């Protein structure tokens, strides 16, 4: 398991060293939310009602755009080729990279959610539920994004194609993520949504290393 | 245990699957298939327009169903074919599986678009609106986006062989996801819109509605098969031309 830990540590160290990327992504995440009042008007009641949706959309966009680079730098500096000859399987490396990504990108993103709550007039209770649903839903979202990133890593003019192929697949996460926050239309529906969200996250986290690993291996030869 | 060194003799399905053989046997199939498709369409349309009753609530608009349902069926059937072909690409690395996948994607997208279009035409007089966030319409819309993503991914690669394998991975991930999307959209839909919008249907459809529906289902499925074979043939020929051009470019000028 040392190889696994080494990859996690390497990715964390790289992310911390090149802190600029992370700050840009955080800024993007906050900006998407901060722009919303200009689009729908500064009506506090309306904003408070749609705030969880805004935060979720901002998270989906920030994550999918941020994940696009997940394997890109490794491919450019040749690490990807080295990973293929490593002692541990490509699947384990992908999973290690995802763990590092969650710690270095998603955790700061979650810490920025209170800024949204402040700007959009979210109640404290809604903030708590939004954070909980993001905490449970982001691993699934990240896993889908990793599959997209692995499939498109070899494209020179990739651009938006990774997010475009993954966004339709992210619909269930969005549905259950919002379902866990929104005032339940039926009793118990929010709890059910939270459990479905957890199930989705678990399934996708289990599939993603294999799908992404397969795509990385197929894309190289 | 058979050794992997021995060369397996060619079976009948190996011969069918060889691109050159495919070109020759599918060439003989095109005109008969086209004939059957036209006959089925003539029969089905006649039944749908003259041979079936109007609905007591929806009137003549119920006839949209005979176009709508076959397209909706094909939108999922084509994805099923692509999934099987994707497994063929990843497990056996068969070139015909690549070709099948590539030819099917735009066809599936068009059938899905047709299902959405006829659905919204049907929705206007029935529900009073072109678009309703109804469970079936919504998941069909997402399926349409998935098709478009697959087509975009095909187009993004220069190297066809690599493209096929990566598209196959995405196709399989999509195949796992489509039931989840369907389920989640239904869940979301029933919470926000408890009333059932579908008036017609149910298991008790009378025979004079069922019959044209079945004939049209077969007509559209045959249309798909015909178009699929044509698209596969042109893809094979395109690849051969590419290969020849590469070969000519490689040859030293005499």
- Nearby residues of B67 by Cβ (< 8 Å), 6 or more positions away: B114, B118, B216
**Contact between A152 and B185 using a beta-carbon 8 Å cutoff:** no
**Contact between B173 and A147 using a beta-carbon 8 Å cutoff:** yes
B157 touches chain A (CB under 8 A): yes
pLDDT (tens digit per residue) in B165-181: 999 999 999 999 888 98
State the sign of the Cα–Cα–Cα–Cα dihedral B159, B162, B168, B173: negative
Question: A204 and A78 in contact (C-beta within 8 Å)?
Answer: no
What are the extents of the domains in chain A? Answer: 2-220
- Residue % of chain B over a pLDDT of 70: 88
Q: Give me the pLDDT at residue B198, please.
A: 47
pLDDT (tens digit per residue) in A180-201: 887 766 677 788 889 999 999 9
Q: Give me the pLDDT at residue B51, please.
A: 75
**Contact between B142 and A215 using a beta-carbon 8 Å cutoff:** no
Q: Give me the pLDDT at residue A73, please.
A: 82
Q: How many CB atoms lie within 10 A of CB A73?
A: 13
- Searching chain B, which residue's CA lies closest to the CA of residue A185? B191
**Contact between A211 and B156 using a beta-carbon 8 Å cutoff:** no
Cα–Cα dist A136/A116, whole Å: 19
Query: CA angle A145-A151-B174, nearest 5°?
Result: 70
**Contact between A218 and B157 using a beta-carbon 8 Å cutoff:** no
pLDDT (tens digit per residue) in B48-85: 888 777 766 667 777 888 889 899 999 999 999 999 99
Q: Per the structure block, which two tokens stand in for A2? A: 């040392």
**Mean pLDDT confidence for B97-122:** 92
Q: Give me the pLDDT at residue A58, please.
A: 94
Q: Could you report the predicted ipTM of this complex, rounded to two decimals?
A: 0.89
**Does pLDDT of A206 surpass 80?**
yes
pLDDT-based confidence at residue B254 (cuts at 50, 70, 90): low
B93 touches chain A (CB under 8 A): no
B187 touches chain A (CB under 8 A): yes
């Amino acid at each position: 398991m040392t190889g696994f830990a080494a990859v996690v540590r390497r990715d964390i160290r790289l992310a911390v060293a090149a802190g600029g990327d992370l700050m840009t992504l955080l800024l993007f995440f906050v900006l998407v939310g901060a722009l919303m009042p200009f689009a729908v008007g500064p009506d506090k009641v309306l904003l408070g009602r749609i705030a969880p949706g805004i935060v979720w959309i901002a998270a989906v966009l920030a994550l999918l755009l941020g994940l696009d680079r997940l394997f890109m730098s490794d491919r450019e500096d040749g690490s990807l080729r080295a990973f293929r000859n490593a002692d541990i399987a490509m699947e384990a490396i992908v999973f290690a990279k995802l763990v590092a990504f969650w710690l270095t990108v998603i955790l700061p993103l979650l810490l920025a959610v209170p800024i949204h709550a402040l700007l959009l007039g979210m109640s404290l209770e809604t903030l708590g539920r939004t954070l909980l649903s993001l905490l449970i839903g982001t691993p699934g979202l990240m896993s889908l994004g990793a599959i997209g990133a692995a499939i498109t890593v070899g494209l020179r003019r990739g651009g938006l194609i990774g997010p475009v192929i993954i966004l339709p697949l992210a619909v269930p996460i969005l549905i259950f993520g919002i379902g866990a926050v929104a005032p339940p239309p039926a009793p118990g529906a929010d709890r059910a949504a939270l459990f479905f969200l957890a199930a989705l996250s678990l399934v996708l986290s289990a599939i993603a290393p294999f799908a992404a690993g397969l795509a990385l291996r197929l894309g190289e030869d | 245990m058979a050794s992997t060194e021995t060369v397996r003799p060619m079976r009948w399905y190996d011969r069918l699957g060889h691109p050159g053989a495919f070109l020759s046997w599918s060439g003989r199939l095109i005109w008969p298939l086209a004939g059957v498709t036209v006959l089925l369409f003539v029969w089905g349309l006649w039944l749908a327009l003259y041979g079936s009753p109007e609905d007591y609530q929806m009137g003549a608009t119920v006839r949209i169903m005979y176009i709508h349902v076959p397209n909706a069926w094909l939108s999922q059937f084509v994805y099923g074919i692509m999934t099987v072909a994707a497994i063929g690409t990843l497990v056996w690395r068969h070139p015909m599986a690549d070709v099948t996948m590539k030819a099917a994607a735009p066809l599936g997208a068009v059938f899905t678009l047709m299902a959405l279009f006829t659905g919204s035409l049907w929705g206007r007089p029935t529900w009073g609106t072109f678009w309703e966030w109804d469970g079936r319409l919504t998941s069909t819309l997402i399926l349409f986006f998935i098709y478009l993503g697959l087509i975009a991914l095909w187009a993004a690669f220069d190297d066809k062989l690599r493209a096929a394998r990566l598209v196959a991975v995405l196709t399989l991930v999509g195949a796992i996801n489509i039931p989840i999307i369907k389920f989640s959209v239904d869940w979301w839909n029933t919470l926000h819109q408890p009333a059932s919008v579908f008036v017609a249907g149910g298991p008790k459809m009378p025979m004079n509605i069922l019959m044209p529906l079945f004939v049209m289902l077969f007509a559209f499925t045959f249309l798909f098969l015909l178009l699929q074979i044509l698209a596969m043939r042109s893809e094979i020929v395109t690849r051969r031309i590419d290969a020849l051009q590469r070969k000519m470019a490689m040859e030293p000028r005499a």
